[in-house]
Structure 1
Amino acid sequence: MNQYRRLRDESSEEQCALELEQGHARKQPRRSNNAKETLVSIEQLLQKLSEPNGESCLTELSCEVNGLLPRHKMEILRLLVQSLQLHPMQCGAYATFVGLLNVCDFEFGADCLSCLRQQLWQALEAGEWQQARNLLLLLAELVNANVLTASSMLQLLNALLDAAQHDCYAWLVLSSLPLLARELYEKLESGLQALLKRLSVYMKQRCSGVQLQLLRIWTLSERAQHDYLELLWQQVLQLQGQHWMLQQLRRPYTNFDGTLSSALQHQLTERPAVAATRQLRYARAHLVARLFAPADLPLSQQLPAELHFERHLIDCHILEILQSQHLERKRCAALLCAYSAAHPQLALPHCIVELLLLQMLQLPAAPYPTINYGVILIELCKLQPHSFPHIIVQAVDLIFAQLPSMSVACFDRFVDWFSHHLSNFRYQWNWLDWQQCIHFHQLHPCAMFVRELLKKCMRLSYHQHVVQMMPAAFAPLLPVAPVPDFKYIDERLPGAQLAKQLLDVIRSKCTVEVVGGLLEAATELPEELKINVLMQTLLHLGCKSFTHVFCLFTKFHAVLKLLAAGNELNQLAMLQAIFELWTNNEQLKTVLAERLMKMRLIKPNIVVRFVFSSALKPELSKLYLWELLNVSIRYTKQHLQGSEQQLTEQLECLLLGIVQHAAVALAKQQAVAAPAETDYWSHWVLGRLQGILFAHVELVRPFGDKLNKIVSDFEHCKRLLKMIENYLAYIK
């Protein structure tokens, strides 16, 4: 006997139908003179179903819709599918809604299933896996709502496994199976066991070891990091051991057992699966990581074990809110808090913080920008100041303790997020807890984290504030004051006389021709030196703000363009001047180099060549140079003109150039450096190279063979070869 729904009693069918009709007679649907207003009202009620206790409006919704079915059936189905894509974890409520309408109008039930089936196959053919999963969840719940036969749904799941060319198909089946597994267990146990056996065979045959290592947030950590599909499979097996009894799933159709059991059920019409030869964009594998162990949670609150399917459902509810509201930080935080308040017995605040932070750190890339996660966490701290701030402190300390084994790409995102988070809370932190890092090697991950973090904080504040907020013991890790260093103040230097003349005429608001004349007249100076003098003079005069220096660049653009045109050495000289004058200001180096690219004064490949020059080798372990490389790639994608083929070739050349230069730098370092230094320096260079490749997977995939050919020349760089080999295996 199904625990969720009473078996239909044939003698009570007429009575159940009569009860539904009487219910409709007692509460007539509200009718609007304007059909659009009525549809808006229906849409609002559908959205209300996603709220806590939203099932209370099911009867009202079904009554309102019932009178509109003959004229607005397609609009109602469109609103249903639209609501489902926004709130897939409320599929039980939507299934109950469809079931109530199916009792009164059998034809609507058939049309609804036909629409869902068509939407499902379109999603599969387009490779829209998330949308397909949402539709399957609703179809599974329609079995429980007595709209769809269990045998039809079982045939559909088997059809998906027949087409299992990729993990996505197995993921679809595993995601939806638990919702109707109890029904199958009671009515079609042999079919359920056969399906599970097929899934078991698939899971044993798949190979994800390479991807698993490449995507780990921490290479060595006691914290759990599971392959997403293997974890889901283990959770399904655990649920099987519980005889498919789910505790965390909303089942509103159980409140309408008597009514729903009177309806006739439908069959799904068959349709062949997606052709095996079809080129689809499959969802990439990812890891599901955990941050908090059971011992880290409050004694009065716990969470289901990570191998329990209930934990999967909790994660899905939180991620659903994040997916639908990640652009509305206040609304997102309010919904997360409401979901947490609805389950006070669970440690949901810890789960929310864990999911937000670890999805932000997810490899190869997070679904949303880092700032999105940051502002939502800030709003959560504002809404619940007595819980979320303490949980975030706990999470940050746990992550800091694991920095030595953390992926460099995740490390950089962690720096970006935490600096922004501190800036919103007056940079208050118990810094003395991290005092041990001042004794580490200067390139040790913990020391590097504090150093990079303080430099980011300085960008969001100012140097003196950063110095004052830090304990005196952290002096070795403090950033140097970002003041300009105009070397031509020393009149003994070559070019100092020209610099003095340029300063005088530019301050007197001279024309471009005057500056050009002074440069032409200085025939005794090499051209590269004249460029250095001119650039440093402009930078010195414009050092008060971005606006000042940008205006000077714009005013003298013609002169700069003439000097830089077609001459790579002169373009390198321009970058050299920036890095000489702003030696201690990493932000300005990046911003000004990007400005020169946008003014078409230097080319992106010149930036790559400059970054990997021998003079900047000590800087190559720092974050800002790799930010500059990413800026160069982004500029090439967004600003360079030409045909699509030309743009693709330029991006390919740029990315291959970065890999080539990085490989050469790693090979040289391995040949000359001490072992300890090699470990740290190579760790940062190799890790940030991997970060760039991860950030541009779609660009790299077409020329993966060329990438492999480049690194094959560096056989002695084992770590580089292994990283590229794993990366190429991942992107195929």
Structure 2
Amino acid sequence: MSDSEDERRERAARIDNDNGGGANGESRVWRDQRRYGSQDDDDDGDEEERGRRRRADSDSDEMLHKRKRQDSDAQKDEIVEKLTELIAQIGEKSSTSLESNLESLSQVLETDLDTYKEHIIEILVACICEMPDKLTVYSTLVGLLNAKKYNFGGEILEKLLSKLNELMKDNDFDHALYIVIFLSDLVNCRVITLESFVDFLKDLIDCTSSTDMPQVRRDWFAYAFLHCLPWVGHEIAEKKGEDLNVMLAAIEEYLQSRNRDHVKILQVWTKSIHEQEEYLDCLWAQISKLRSDGWKEKFISRHYVAFDGTLADALQHGLPSFEAPPHDSKSMYPLPSVVFRFFDYADCPEDGPILPGAHSIERFLVEEELRWILDQEKRSRKKCAARLLDYEKRTLVPINYVILEVIFSQLFHLPDAPVRPIFYGSLLIELCKTKSMPQVIAQAAELFYQRIDTMQVACIDRLIDWFSYHMSNFEYRWSWSDWSDCVELDRLAPRHMFVREVVDRCMRFSYHQKLTEILPPEFGKMIPEKPVICYDLNDEEHPDHDLAMALEKAFREKCSAEDMIDLLKNKTAEWSDSSAGLSVFLKVLLYLARKTFSHNFAALTRHVIFYALLISVDILRRSLPKDEYYSTLKELIGNKEDAQLTVLRTIYETWKLHRQMVTVLITKLLKMSLLDASAVVAWIFSDEMKPEFERFVRFSSIACSSKSSCKLVNFS
């Protein structure tokens, strides 16, 4: 008998309850499956979770590795920076001896050679090129490291020769010379065998025998050879004397065959009690004297002597054969020069050290080291002055006199000074902060005045610039009366020209009234007139007065281009000489801008670039959009020499009492390409300018014109 319906429902309820069913009849099993998934779903979820964990672990490991690598790189950079600091500062002032510092540094570097060898070599080569005054310090350091680590010596030699070749290819012959000198001192430090270095010197000499090469190239190799001999000549003479004699004979033969046509034009003095020798001839004379003295000199710091015991047992390296880079048309070699001589022992105090003779190697060495300081510190006059006055061997020479001679040799170097002349002027002012230097500079100025009759004109011009600048920084205090003899001399006499130009330049730094107060009455003839504008168009009786007034009004009212063109058409329609209209226009323009240089520059830029030519050419017949003004003026005035001469004459007539203004305006127009250099030169040498021939300012305009021409043809 089948169960009743109620019984079946009761049994079903009990089963559901036994299985954990809920109030809604849902079993616990199905509820759990819905909540957590089935068994298969559990396996898939665990796998995804493990995958996420693996990826997280992998990312964490990568980040940890990257962080470690960054920390390692930072630590490495820090160590390299510290090594650079240690190597660069060796040889500076210290409470301990240099020998002790070298020994300590060599020990520090030895421990880092395995890890940082390449960095250490790079740092040393950079220091050799940038700090030639410490060459013997670094050669001793390399000698100590080579004695400890033989392979290091070979690797740095390879790097040095590679750098030498690279520098010569880049036309950096100054730094190349430092490496050659450094190699010569490595012979003394027992890093390079003497035999291989002699072969290296022979390679240098072979480069002087190539007659198909430019003389300036051959000169550099001869100079490099001679420059090494103060460092290593004694060693070669003792052990390879015959080879040295052969090499010296070859150099002497080359020197005798050289062309010397350039010497006269490079000499500062045309006649002098001090011989003005060509630089190679002078160095040859100094080396010859060193040779006769048994190759003994007193100025080179030979730090390696303190480590003879350590270096004597060091293994040496043969220097690889050297082949100079081939010459090509783009090679730029050092130009020849003439050695400047100004002081001798009689000019120096008797109770101080004696000035070495002109042909002593000590004179060459001390001047060379001072030039190195000037080159290294040319960006800072303060550092340069401090280093010059703190020169290591200052007690061995009359240091103030030697410093001045070296500075003036750079200032008067022909054809151009190594750096801008203003640097030397500011450096001398900095040096005057010491008690003794002002007296020596005053003595030098007096000697220049006495010898100026035999000075090159270009050098006189630089002397004028320097002395007037120097006076402007010391309230123009000078014993002017001592130079009063120049007043009555011929106007072309060098002394007269020098003082007259100095007075003229001093007025640029000061003002007219100041000069009348500081100069003695007898110098009244030399004081220039007050630098005011020469403008006569305000005179109502002047024939061009009406046009000038109309133009002045138009300028002040900022008349438009179209209205200005109409005005010019009406006022100049009946003029047969268009240049007269151009002259009036420029005079008015310069008159309105007369206050400052800046006003003049602004006027030229805003107005001349379109108005000036409108008066002198047929462009009056049509109007131009503003963007055509400059190009049209450049095209028409630039190719019209008579218009350019009109511009030049007008500028001179308007500002003839202010010579500096004339010069700067001409320079401005040259830079704007509105004047040709040929027109400027033709005007300066025209008959109307003859009274101005002896004025140095005119030749400044010629120099500016020449530079402008060079830029146009890409020569500079």
Same fold? TM cut 0.5: yes
Deviation at 1:142, TM superposition (A): 0.6
Amino acid at match of 1:449: F
Amino acid at match of 1:312: F
Amino acid at match of 1:47: A
Deviation at 1:612, TM superposition (A): 2.4
For residue 114 of structure 1, the aligned residue among 152, 158, 162 is 158
Deviation at 1:125, TM superposition (A): 4.4
Query: Residue 153 in 1 paired to residue 202 in 2?
Result: no
Deviation at 1:80, TM superposition (A): 1.2
* 1:407-556 superposed matches below 5 A: 407-522=456-571, 523-525=573-575, 526-556=577-607
Amino acid at match of 1:480: E
- Which deviates the most, 627-636 or 111-120? 627-636
Equivalent pair of 1:604/1:632 in contact (CA under 8 Å): yes
Cα distance in 2 for partners of 1:270, 1:483 equals 70
Deviation at 1:591, TM superposition (A): 1.5
Deviation at 1:55, TM superposition (A): 5.1
Partner of 2:178: 134
Q: Which has the higher contact order (CA 8 A, sep 6+)?
A: 1
Amino acid at match of 1:579: Y
Check 1:67–1:280 CA distance in 2 against 1; reply closer, same or farther (3 A cut).
same
Partner of 1:24: none
Deviation at 1:582, TM superposition (A): 0.8
Deviation at 1:108, TM superposition (A): 0.4
Gaps of 5+ in 1: 1-30, 641-646, 649-697, 700-732
For residue 181 of structure 1, the aligned residue among 233, 258, 264 is 233
Amino acid at match of 2:350: L
Query: Residue 352 in 1 paired to residue 403 in 2?
Result: yes
Amino acid at match of 2:308: D
Query: In structure 2, the residue corresponding to 1:489 is in which secondary structure?
Result: coil
Cα distance in 2 for partners of 1:512, 1:362 equals 51
Deviation at 1:345, TM superposition (A): 4.2
Amino acid at match of 1:437: C
Deviation at 1:364, TM superposition (A): 2.0
Partner of 2:426: 375
Structure 1, residues 321-358: CA drift from partner, whole Å, max 9, x if none?
A: 00111111111100001116x53242011100111012
- Which deviates the most, 71-80 or 446-455? 71-80
Partner of 1:95: 139
Check 1:571–1:343 CA distance in 2 against 1; reply closer, same or farther (3 A cut).
closer
Check 1:233–1:552 CA distance in 2 against 1; reply closer, same or farther (3 A cut).
closer
Query: Residue 291 in 1 paired to residue 342 in 2?
Result: yes
Deviation at 1:377, TM superposition (A): 1.1
Equivalent pair of 1:116/1:135 in contact (CA under 8 Å): yes
Cα distance in 2 for partners of 1:315, 1:131 equals 17
Partner of 1:707: none
Partner of 2:121: 77
Deviation at 1:539, TM superposition (A): 1.1
Amino acid at match of 2:182: L
Partner of 1:324: 376
Query: Residue 249 in 1 paired to residue 338 in 2?
Result: no
Check 1:450–1:55 CA distance in 2 against 1; reply closer, same or farther (3 A cut).
farther
Cα distance in 1 for partners of 2:77, 2:544 equals 75
For residue 336 of structure 1, the aligned residue among 388, 406, 429 is 388
Partner of 1:685: none
Check 1:201–1:457 CA distance in 2 against 1; reply closer, same or farther (3 A cut).
same
Q: CA RMSD in A?
A: 2.2
Check 1:270–1:571 CA distance in 2 against 1; reply closer, same or farther (3 A cut).
closer
Query: In structure 2, the residue corresponding to 1:553 is in which secondary structure?
Result: helix
Deviation at 1:143, TM superposition (A): 0.7
Equivalent pair of 1:419/1:453 in contact (CA under 8 Å): yes
Check 1:602–1:127 CA distance in 2 against 1; reply closer, same or farther (3 A cut).
closer
Amino acid at match of 1:604: A
Equivalent pair of 2:269/2:456 in contact (CA under 8 Å): yes
Structure 1, residues 224-271: CA drift from partner, whole Å, max 9, x if none?
A: 311111111111111112211221110111111111122111111224
Check 1:101–1:614 CA distance in 2 against 1; reply closer, same or farther (3 A cut).
same
Partner of 1:575: 648
Partner of 1:669: none
Structure 1, residues 93-147: CA drift from partner, whole Å, max 9, x if none?
A: 1111101111111000010111112222333444432222211111111111111
Deviation at 1:555, TM superposition (A): 3.7
* 1:642-661 superposed matches below 5 A: 647=713
TM-score, reference length from structure 1: 0.79
Cα distance in 2 for partners of 1:363, 1:599 equals 29
Cα distance in 2 for partners of 1:562, 1:67 equals 80
Partner of 1:49: 90
Query: In structure 2, the residue corresponding to 1:368 is in which secondary structure?
Result: coil
Check 1:398–1:149 CA distance in 2 against 1; reply closer, same or farther (3 A cut).
same
Check 1:599–1:358 CA distance in 2 against 1; reply closer, same or farther (3 A cut).
closer
Amino acid at match of 2:478: W
Cα distance in 1 for partners of 2:661, 2:489 equals 29
Partner of 2:361: 309
Equivalent pair of 2:344/2:355 in contact (CA under 8 Å): no
Amino acid at match of 2:226: L
Partner of 1:67: 111
Cα distance in 1 for partners of 2:644, 2:246 equals 67
Amino acid at match of 2:404: V
Deviation at 1:195, TM superposition (A): 2.2
* 1:25-44 superposed matches below 5 A: 34-44=75-85
* 1:683-694 superposed matches below 5 A: none
Equivalent pair of 2:144/2:310 in contact (CA under 8 Å): yes
Check 1:32–1:318 CA distance in 2 against 1; reply closer, same or farther (3 A cut).
farther
Check 1:555–1:283 CA distance in 2 against 1; reply closer, same or farther (3 A cut).
closer
Deviation at 1:56, TM superposition (A): 4.7
- Which deviates the most, 31-40 or 403-412? 31-40
Query: In structure 2, the residue corresponding to 1:218 is in which secondary structure?
Result: coil
Query: Residue 105 in 1 paired to residue 146 in 2?
Result: no
Amino acid at match of 1:34: Q
Deviation at 1:304, TM superposition (A): 1.7
Check 1:54–1:517 CA distance in 2 against 1; reply closer, same or farther (3 A cut).
farther
- Give me the identity figure in percent: 33
Amino acid at match of 1:518: L
Deviation at 1:47, TM superposition (A): 2.7
Deviation at 1:361, TM superposition (A): 0.5
Cα distance in 1 for partners of 2:488, 2:236 equals 61
* 1:607-646 superposed matches below 5 A: 607-638=680-711
Cα distance in 2 for partners of 1:585, 1:115 equals 59
Equivalent pair of 1:360/1:366 in contact (CA under 8 Å): yes
For residue 603 of structure 1, the aligned residue among 676, 685, 697 is 676
Partner of 2:221: 169
Query: In structure 1, the residue corresponding to 2:277 is in which secondary structure?
Result: strand
Question: How many pairs does the alignment contain?
Answer: 609
Cα distance in 2 for partners of 1:271, 1:344 equals 39
Amino acid at match of 1:83: C
Amino acid at match of 2:542: L
TM-score, reference length from structure 2: 0.81
Deviation at 1:67, TM superposition (A): 2.1
Query: Residue 587 in 1 paired to residue 660 in 2?
Result: yes
Cα distance in 2 for partners of 1:271, 1:554 equals 57
- Which deviates the most, 589-598 or 480-489? 589-598
Partner of 1:205: 257
Cα distance in 2 for partners of 1:83, 1:296 equals 37
Deviation at 1:535, TM superposition (A): 1.0
Cα distance in 2 for partners of 1:286, 1:339 equals 25
Query: In structure 2, the residue corresponding to 1:402 is in which secondary structure?
Result: helix
Amino acid at match of 2:343: F
Cα distance in 1 for partners of 2:105, 2:231 equals 24
Deviation at 1:59, TM superposition (A): 2.1
